[in-house]
Amino acid sequence: MDAQPSTTETRPCAHCGAPVPQRVGAGRPFRYCRDNDGACQRASRNSRMRHRNAPGLPGQVARTWEAVDRLDQIVETLTESLHAELSPVGVQRQLAQVRAEAATEVAAAQTERDEARDDAETAAADAARAREQAREARAEADDARQRAELAQRQATAADEQPRRI
């Protein structure tokens, strides 16, 4: 298997002129050396700071470069953030998070549905028991009424018998 040579694009450092390897993907190119803990960027900034208060055009150029450096740092931070969020891995992570949230909500809804179904079944069983108890109570009331009517007839008949004698 042949290893393909890596063709890394380089640009000269804005301070020392050394070649600075660039990213293959999208994003702003690096202007300063990246392997010396930002020494070239600091040195360039310090040089501009010295010239910042200079009268005329050199002072204006130094202030402009300072603003450009700040904007570069902001753009780099934003680029890295966007790359992390919009990369396939970032999108997959967001999708997994949304799917997990949706699954949690579905599980909660199903649990709520099951509880509501159980409550409805319990209420239906309670209603059936109440109907059965009401039917039994009506039957007992009818029996009691019939016994009372029978007792009243017997009492009336008993009252009439002594009068006949």
Is pTM beyond 0.85? Reply is no
Q: Are 25 and 83 in contact (CB under 8 A)?
A: yes
Is 59 a residue whose pLDDT tops 90? no
pLDDT for the residue 2 = 43
Structure tokens at 63: 């202030």
How much is the average pLDDT of 126-147? 96
pLDDT of residue 79: 83
> Taking 60 as the threshold, does the pLDDT of residue 164 lie above it?
no
